[in-house]
Amino acid sequence: MAGSSSDQTFDVASLVEDFDLNRIGQYVLVILFIGFFLAPLETGIMTAFKTNRAVAETIPLMPPLAEGFTLDNMTFALNALSGAFFNSLFMAIPATIGSVLLGSMAAYGLTMVDWRGQMGMLVLFLIGIFLPYQAVLVPLARFWNNIFPLASMMRPLFVAAPILQDYHANLVPLMITHIAYGIPICTILFRSYYQGLPSSYVEAAKIDGASITKIYRRIILPISKPMFGVVFIYQFTQIYNEFLFAFTLITGSDTPEAVVTLILPAVGASTSGIDFGIRMSAAFLAALPTLIIYVAFAEQFAEGLKSGG
Amino acid sequence: MGRIEISNLTKRFGDTTAVENLSLDIPDSEFLVLVGPSGCGKSTTLRMIAGLETPTEGSIYIGGEHMNYRVPQNRDIAMVFQDYALYPHMTVRENVRFGLEEEPGYTSEERDARVEEIADLLSISDLLDRRPGELSGGQQQRVALGRAIVRDPEVFLMDEPLSNLDAKLRAEMRTELQQLQHRFDVTTVYVTHNQTEAMTMSDRIAVMNDGTLQQVGEPLELYHAPANRFVGGFIGEPAMNFVEGTNENGTFVGTYIEYPFDEPIRENVGGVEGVVLGVRPEDINLRRFPEDGSGSLGDHEFQMTVSVVEPHGDQNVIHLRHPDDTGGDELLHAVTSGTTVVDAGTDVVVSIDPGAVHVFETATGDALHNRRLETELEVRNV
């Protein structure tokens, strides 16, 4: 009798027991941090869609209401950046693919193929990672302008090519610079992944008579697909967001071949003051490509981090 | 043909010597098992035969041809790896076919047909379009074998191929491997640290320790006539008992026991002073110690106490210690039939037949005397 009745009555005390102060504290902290990190982002997006008046009169965190809403900022920013977008992607995508692919090949050669002097080579790669960019800027500019003026050499080619204009040739030195400076870090990332692979993969293939290039093409390259996701995202973000080399090798933000990072500081800034709506729109647009890459490669990224990186 | 000759093979990695002055002649179509504890150089030896390591000194001949500087592909060998080395992104079919791709003399169709043929032989036809990750350990093992067989090599090299399987499957694959080897009649060098695999599968066993070859011979030869203490202790499970002591005028004197040698032993041992007595656990006979404590003990009998009994079902392993020994060190292990029940703590009489005794020299470990076998009969006609 007593048992059946207690089944029916709702036991409030047992519910309370489940609340753990520690857990509550944890959640409060997490929510606080989320707010802390997301508030600026939210502010930025909200500001991007506000008229100048709304920006001035409403709290930054508030969404734009009725009359305060506008798409003009976005359109303006898109117009200002469209050329730069093309330039940036035209430079960053080949540079990323180049450095990731070469880095993977170098890592394969340094980890899975035996040859004399491997260690010395690896040290050179390591030094390459720690080379301060500031130290090479002047020689780099002199190299591409005076010693080996690749851009002016390639200009006729670019004139003949469809879509491209002659000034796009100026992006080629920047592309090659990014490939060169990206290889060391890509190599080290791939190296740690390849070291985790069983050496029997390569040995079994060797016994079957596969050449070093065939082993790379048929076995190592397909196996390292998840790692390519990781390195690709990382490297694209690096190159796309890079400012120093772009600033040195491309003369300025007023040139037609300027990349996004060069143009961005100037958009929405004028002698009459800063137009926050436009600036925020431009910043949001500039960040889009990296976001898209993250989403597109998210699966490989997660798998790659899990299995090697 | 697949005869392998290894002469004075040495491999050094920096200051450490992995293999030292190894000479071995493996006749065509023999199944030779290279056995030894981890780090004894057996895998390095195999890898040198495969061409994955270059010898520091010495030569390797396969089918009479010098192999030292030949790339693995041109040695007419196939190797099965411990982790199988199956490529996870390829299907079973592609994995098996991969080994055939660089083989000259096949058309594309012939390659496909050959893969099917091998798959049929190993009964993995229905797995051909799956990936290695979807297969069980035993199936992966089969695919790895298929990849080795598909090239129809003169020599199979196997590096602990069964060590990743569970015990039951391992026993099955042991038989299957042997059958395959017989069927293809291919010289096989099989590396393992598992002495059961060595005993059951091989035509001959080569025991290695610390980079040097200890003994080569047929399984039973190694079991009954070990060349030294290491081989005696390594081959056989539970291991041979060793009792250290001295030889005093033809009598073995240890800390707890004295064991008079009979005439044949005396002849072989001669004047050597430091000796080790070796007895296989199954050669130790036990009987209950008389309750009244009277019973007289023979020359080759001792009183001992059972400390632990390990039942295996088919047999019992009995750990014995001497009654005077308070430290609890176990002196001997004996094996009795599974139906003989002894309780821990009982006093027993241990008798060791002089015909079953091995004697080793303490200093060198070399065998001075090996157990007596009733000529060849005892071994061959069982």
CA distance B103 to chain A (A): 8
Average pLDDT over residues B94-99: 92
pLDDT at B151: 87
Place A171 in a pLDDT band, splitting at 50, 70 and 90: very high
Mutate to test the interface with B, among A116, A208, A228 (most CBs of B within 10 A): A208
Which of B13, B47, B52 to mutate to test binding with chain A, by most A CBs within 10 Å of its CB?
A: B52
Under a CB-based contact definition with an 8 Å cutoff, are residues B323 and B332 in contact? Answer: no
pLDDT at A10: 66
pLDDT, tens only, B195-236: 889 999 999 999 999 999 999 999 999 999 999 999 999 999
By Cβ distance, the residue of B79, B89, B101 closest to A204 is: B79
Both structure tokens of B76: 């007419």
B52 touches chain A (CB under 8 A): yes
**Mean per-residue pLDDT for B78-88?**
93
What pLDDT was estimated at residue B102? Answer: 85
Residue B127's pLDDT is 93
Instruction: Assess if CATH 2.40.50.140 describes domain B239-380.
Output: yes
Write out pLDDT tens, residues A218-264: 999 999 988 998 899 999 999 999 999 999 998 777 888 899 999 88
Contact B103 A209 (CB under 8 A): yes
A207·B50 Cβ contact <8 A: yes
- Chain B interface test: which of A193, A207, A223 (most B C-beta within 10 Å): A207
Task: Average the pLDDT over B163-173 and give the result.
Answer: 89
Interchain CB contact of B72 with A (< 8 Å): yes
**Is the distance from CB of B102 to CB of A208 less than 8 angstroms?**
yes
> Would you kindly state where each structural domain of chain B is located, as residue ranges?
4-230, 239-380
Cα separation values, B270 from A232, B224, B251, B371, Å: 76, 21, 11, 16
pLDDT, mean over chain A? 88
Residue B341: the pLDDT is 81
The pLDDT > 90 percentage for chain A reads: 51
Phi/psi of residue A298, each to 5°? -55, -40
Q: Does B106 touch chain A (CB under 8 A)?
A: no
Instruction: Return the H-helix or E-strand segment holding B214.
Output: strand B212-217
Q: Does B353 contact A at CB distance below 8 Å?
A: no
Given a cut of 80, whether residue B326 has pLDDT beyond it is: no
Are the beta carbons of A208 and B101 separated by less than 8 Å?
A: yes
* Residue pLDDT, tens place only, A264-275: 888 888 777 888
| Interface touch B89/A223, C-beta < 8 Å | yes
Whether domain A72-307 has CATH 1.10.3720.10: the reply is: yes
Q: How far is A225 from chain B (nearest CA, A)?
A: 10
Task: For residue A233, give both structure tokens.
Answer: 């995202």
**Structure confidence by residue, pLDDT tens digits, B243-301:** 999 999 889 998 888 899 988 899 888 888 999 999 999 999 988 887 766 667 788 88
Domain ranges in chain A are 2-68, 72-307
Return the closest-CA partner of residue B354 out of B293, B307, B285.
Answer: B285
Write out the CATH class of domain B4-230. alpha beta
- B102 CA to chain A: closest CA distance, Å? 6
Residue B76: its chain A contacts at CB < 8 A?
A: none
DSSP B154: S
Name the minimum distance, in Å, from the CA of A246 to any CA of chain B: 39
Distance in Å, alpha carbon of A297 to nearest chain B alpha carbon: 19
